[in-house]
Amino acid sequence: MDALAKALLPTLLHELANTTQLLTGLHALTTLPEGEELLATHEGELSRAGDQAQRLGWLLGVLGAAGGHDILLARREQAGLDWIVELATKAARRAQRSMPTSPQTLPRLMGCTPDGWSVPWALGSLLWQAGEQSDGGAWSLHMETSGWRLCVPGSNPNQVVLQVPGASVVKSLLNDGMDLMLPREFLA
């Protein structure tokens, strides 16, 4: 298991347990005499638990795919970058370590990526590397004529480039390091 998977797994399992507890509590309402009426007052929580289960299930699939078990198959999630950054940030907070500052908004993953997991996993791995090396800072992901440039100061994209078909490592424009270049059709 690589460093990012080791870091994310406890946080992911904790979040899955929280969602399971919420669903168990909502299920308990259905066993009460006025259960249907009580459950109706908790529709927002049921919806939130459903959204959480979708997000956490995809993240669990990403961890499996990174370990060589492609259980995601054709599943794609447009919000995959947001989800991996959020989980990595929570894992860093649990480990009491720094994490580079995220941009306000991230692009959406497109359905033409070669798989559903490698781009988010590469981003999470680079952020985790940078958190080991520095006290935070900021990272960026922006469109250029040749594709999307992912600049995570303090990370080594050579360690993840082979995970992302079509990606390449290029000289950074901001520092003396290297950046990861992603094909433009992967993100929008």
Total Cβ atoms within 10 A of residue 73: 9
| pLDDT tens-digit map of 116-135 | 789 999 999 999 998 887 66
Beginning with the edge strand found earlier in the chain, give each strand of the sheet holding 140-144 in spatial order. 140-144, 147-151, 178-182, 168-171
Give the integer Cα–Cα distance in Å for 155 and 79. 23
| pLDDT tens-digit map of 18-60 | 999 999 988 888 888 888 888 888 889 889 999 999 999 999 9
pLDDT for the residue 70: 74
Number of H helices, E strands in the chain: 5, 4
Q: How many residues does the chain have?
A: 188
Q: For residue 136, what are its two tokens? A: 């935070």
Residue range of the domain that includes 162: 3-186
pTM of the model: 0.79
How many distinct structural domains can be found in the chain?
1
Cβ(166)–Cβ(182) below 8 Å: yes
180 compared with 38, residue with greater pLDDT: 180
